[in-house]
Amino acid sequence: MDLTYPPEAEAFRKEIRTWLEENLPEGWFDEGFTQTPDERKRFNEEWPEKLYKGGWICATWPKEYGGKGLSLMESVVLNEEFARAGAPLRADFFGDTLVGPTILQWGSEEIKKEFLPKILSGQMSWCQGFSEPNAGSDLASLKTKAELDGDEWVINGQKVWTTQAQYADYIFLLARTDPSASKHAGISYLLVPMKQEGIEVRPIIQPDGSGEFNEVFFNNARCPKDNVVGGLNNGWKVAMTTLGFERGTSATTGYRRFERELEVIIEKARKNGRIADPSVRQGLAKAWSKVQIMKVNGWRTLSAEVTGKKDLGVAALGATNKMYWSEYHRETMELALDILGMEGQVLGGSTDDDEPSMPGLARRQAVKDYPVTPLQASFFFSRSETIWGGTAEIQRNIVGERVLGLPKEPKPPEPAKAAS
C-alpha cells in the first residue's frame, strides 16, 4: 500500500497547519496545554466565526453555495489536520453533517439558496425528527402526518429522542403525506421552523440530570408548501441519504478520538498498577489492535475512493464501520471502568465551573449533582452509540442483505384482525 499523498495535498496541508497555528489560542500545541472554563467558553463562542471566515465549515461544498469546492484528497487532509490539532471543525452537527449535505444532494435551488448560507455561517441550528414512539428501527412505520392547507403543510404527530430540539431553529422531519400509499412510499422530508405555537418540546431527563434529547409534539404546526426536500412522497430515499451521512465518519480520522482516549486509559492502568494484570493487558492489546484496524480500514476506504477500485470488501467496510467503532467503544469503556476499579464508582469529576479541559479529548458536560469524570461520561455515552443512527443489529441486517446479498429478514406476521 502506497501511503504517500500527492504533492498538492501536502501543500494544502501546510496551508491548513499555518492557519491553525495562527488562529488557535497560544500554547494550544504545547504538551499539557489546558484551558480554564472561561477560556474554553470564549473559545467555543469565537471559534465558529473563525472557522466560517476561514471557509472551513463544509469546505467540500461547491463554491456557488459558499463552500470551497475542496477535492476528496483536500478534504481528507483538512480533516486530518484538524483532528491532529484537536480543533473542532463544525458549527452545528445536524446542520453541517446531516441536513446540509442532504439539501445539497436533493434540495431545490430555492431551498439551497435559503438554507445553505445559514448553515454555513452557523446562524441556524437544527434537530432531526425521524424517530417516533413506535418507529425507531422500523422507521417506515412513522405516523406523524402533514396535510396541505393552501400554501402550507399542517403537521400533527409526535417525535421522540430528538437531540437538541430545545435549542434548534429548524427541524428536518419525516411525515406521512400520502396515507393511502404503502409504508415506505407516501413519506416526505420537510423543513419546519421550531419556534412556533404548534410545537411543544418536552425534555427527557436522564439519570444524571441532563436532558439533551426530547419528545416533540406537533399540534397543527406549519411550514411552507415548498419546504419539501427531494420531492413530494420521496422522503424515504432522502432520509436514507441523511442516515448514510450519520453512519459514515471521516475515513482516515474517525479512529483518532479512540486512539487518544485509549492513551488516557493505558496511562490510568500504568498509574494504578492494573497494567500488571494479564487480562487487563490482553484487553488493552485487543483495544489497541482494533484502533489500528480502524486506521488501516480508513486508508483502504480512501484508496478505493481515489482509485475507483471498489470491491466487496470495501463495500463491507462502509457498511460495518458504524457497528465496528460503536461496539469497540462500548467494550473499551467497560474495560476502562474495570481498570478504574473502585475509583470508577466514585463521581470524581467536577462541573464546568472549575474543571480545566484538554483539546481533542471529548468531554461531555458534567451536570451539577452528578459530576462524572470524562472517562465516566464517555462510558455512559458509549452505551448510546450502538443505538443512535441505526442500532448495531440493524447494521448487521444491512450488511447481510445489501452487501452479502443474503435473503431478506422475514417480516413478522400482521397482527390478526379482530373478529367482527
Ligand X SMILES: Cc1cc2nc3c(=O)[nH]c(=O)nc-3n(C[C@H](O)[C@H](O)[C@H](O)COP(=O)(O)OP(=O)(O)OC[C@H]3O[C@@H](n4cnc5c(N)ncnc54)[C@H](O)[C@@H]3O)c2cc1C
Tell me the catalytic residues: 246
Residue pointed to by grid coordinates 473502585? 342
260 or 364: CB nearest ligand X: 364
Residues 339-398 that bind ligand X (CB under 6 A): 384, 387-388, 390-391, 393-394, 397
Cell of 329: 467503544
CA separation (Å) from 189 to 143, 228, 269? Answer: 13, 6, 48
Q: Is 144 in the site for ligand X (CB under 6 A)?
A: no
User: What value, to the nearest 5°, has the Cα angle with vertex 352 and ends 347 and 358?
Assistant: 90
Q: Does 46 interact with ligand X (rule: CB under 6 A)?
A: no
By CB under 6 A, residue 61 contacts ligand X: no
- Residue 44, C-beta contacts closer than 8 angstroms, at least 6 positions apart: none
Nearest distance, CB of residue 185 and ligand X, angstroms: 20
161, 170, 324, 379: residue in contact with ligand X (rule CB under 6 A): 161
**Chain-centre distance of CA 178, in angstroms?**
30
Residues numbered 254 to 273 that lie near ligand X (CB under 6 A) are: none
Residues comprising the chain, all counted:
420
Shortest Å distance, C-beta 389 to ligand X: 6
Question: Among residues 43, 82, 170, 213, which is the contact residue for ligand X, using CB under 6 A?
Answer: 213
| Contact of 165 with 194, CB cutoff 8 Å | yes
Q: What are phi and psi of 255, to 5 degrees?
A: -75, -20
What is the residue whose three cell numbers read 464517555? 378
Which of 342, 349, 385, 345 is CA-nearest to residue 367? 349
CB 195 → ligand X: shortest distance, Å?
A: 18
Distance from CA of residue 101 to its chain's centroid? 13
User: Which one, 227 or 297, has the nearer CB to ligand X?
Assistant: 227
* Cβ-proximal residue to ligand X, closest one: 136
Shortest Cβ 260–ligand X spacing (Å) = 21
Instruction: Please give the size of the binding site for ligand X, defined by CB under 6 A.
Output: 20
User: Which grid coordinates are listed for 408?
Assistant: 431478506
Considering the rule CB under 6 A, would residue 163 count as an interface residue with ligand X? yes
**Helices 278-307 & 312-340, crossing angle to 10 degrees?**
150
| Contacting residue, 130, 189, 325, 379, with ligand X by CB under 6 A | 130
Question: Closest distance between ligand X and the C-beta of residue 173, in Å?
Answer: 8
Cβ-based nearer residue to ligand X, 129 or 254: 129
Q: Residue 382: is it exposed, middle or buried by C-beta count within 10 angstroms (0-12/13-18/19+)?
A: buried
What minimum distance in Å lies between the beta carbon of 401 and ligand X? 11
User: Binder to ligand X among 100, 107, 136, 283 (CB under 6 A)?
Assistant: 136
Nearer to ligand X, 131 or 250 (CB): 131
Per CB under 6 A, 239 contacts ligand X: no
Is position 199 an interface residue for ligand X (rule: CB under 6 A)? no
Decide: is 192 part of the binding site for ligand X (CB under 6 A): no
Contact set with ligand X (CB under 6 A): 127-131, 136-137, 161-163, 213, 384, 387-388, 390-391, 393-394, 397, 409
